[in-house]
Amino acid sequence: MKSAKSADARRQGRKNHANLFGEALNTAAVLRVSLTCLIAGIFLLSAQEPDAGRQRPPAGRGSTREFLGLGPAPDAAAAKKGEPLFKQNCAACHGETARGAQGPNLLRSVVVLHDEKENEIGPVIQNGRPQAGMPPFQQLSADDIHNISEYIKLQVEQAANRGIYNQIYAGSRNALRGDPNKGNEFFHAHCNGCHSPSGDLAKIAAKFPEASLMQSRFLWPASRDPARATVSTPSGETVTGTIVKLDDFDVALRDSNGDVHYWPRSQVNVNVVDNLQGHRALLPLYTDADIHNVTAYLETLK
């Protein structure tokens, strides 16, 4: 009896041990599995991070973006290619990071925010808004436009994240205003050939006492004169005058005697005189600092 009892007890005890041991094993297995998942997860995430733009984001992130009302993630590789193109072609007017200068802030632009696949931004870049002061950029390829658009969209994305914003732009918030002496140097290097601070621009600051207006005027001046063109005919005749009519079908000029000449557009060569071409050719040259310096200098001409 005694031995049976103790055998029972021993068996019971072993069973308990086995149970405990089994549970411990199970817990360890669960832990190991979850650890593996975690590590695999981290691995997967870090492996996907650099590609985030090119590949479709994983379901979790995609639905978060959707939930937040965000469009597709900007393509980081394209944005990187677009950055120098933006700096060269657009920054003078829209600011180094598209936050606006005398051209509008593109981060709040409805055109940019509504854009998918460049169907909104593309036409603005290619045709410009000449009446409002934006030139056309017909030399930019579809790829260039795509890359520039992705660069702008990446700026929108980063602005939406205030944490990143503070890291990136802490420095530029303390930017100094322009230095008129440096502006003077720039003026004598690049503007003096066509203008004179004691001649045509002598009182320019009286005309544009506000720095922002001065800035937009010198970056993108409007010509006061009516547009002029030279027409050459197949017979070798050339006429220069102010444009009365110029479309796909007809061209008409008024010459210096006041006489108006008409030609069918397809039969003549038309060369529109753009007296601001040289002035506009400077646009890619300016850095942000140059713009502020030249503005500060022009403000001294009263």
- In the complex, the residues that contact ligand HEC under the rule CB under 6 A are 89-90, 92-94, 103-104, 106, 109-112, 121, 124-125, 129, 132-135, 137, 148, 187, 190-191, 193-195, 204, 217-221, 223-225, 275-276, 278-279, 282-283, 294
Which residue number is nearest to ligand HEC in terms of Cβ? 278
Q: In the complex with ligand HEC, which residue's Cβ is closer, 13 or 226?
A: 226
Q: In the complex with ligand HEC, which residue's Cβ is closer, 56 or 280?
A: 280
Shortest distance, CB of residue 85 to ligand HEC, whole angstroms?
A: 7
Place of tokens 């140059």: 290
Shortest distance, CB of residue 294 to ligand HEC, whole angstroms?
A: 5
Shortest distance, CB of residue 223 to ligand HEC, whole angstroms?
A: 4
Cα 214 to Cα 69: distance, rounded to the nearest angstrom: 39
Q: In the complex with ligand HEC, which residue's Cβ is closer, 32 or 114?
A: 114
Measured CA to CA in angstroms, residue 93 lies from 20, 87, 165, 246, 297 at distances of 73, 10, 21, 29, 19
Place of tokens 């102010």: 242
Q: In the complex with ligand HEC, which residue's Cβ is closer, 239 or 298?
A: 298
Shortest distance, CB of residue 205 to ligand HEC, whole angstroms?
A: 10
Place of tokens 């998918």: 116
Place of tokens 């169907």: 119
Please give the helix or strand (H or E) that residue 93 lies within, else none. helix 91-94
CA atoms in the 13 A half-sphere facing the CB of 25: 6
**161 Cβ contact list (under 8 Å, min separation 6):** none
Q: In the complex with ligand HEC, which residue's Cβ is closer, 65 or 217?
A: 217
37's tokens? 């998942």
Contact 57, 67 (CB under 8 A): no
Q: Which residues pair with 240 in a beta bridge?
A: 230
Shortest distance, CB of residue 181 to ligand HEC, whole angstroms?
A: 15
Cα 149 to Cα 250: distance, rounded to the nearest angstrom: 37
Q: In the complex with ligand HEC, which residue's Cβ is closer, 46 or 131?
A: 131
Shortest distance, CB of residue 165 to ligand HEC, whole angstroms?
A: 21
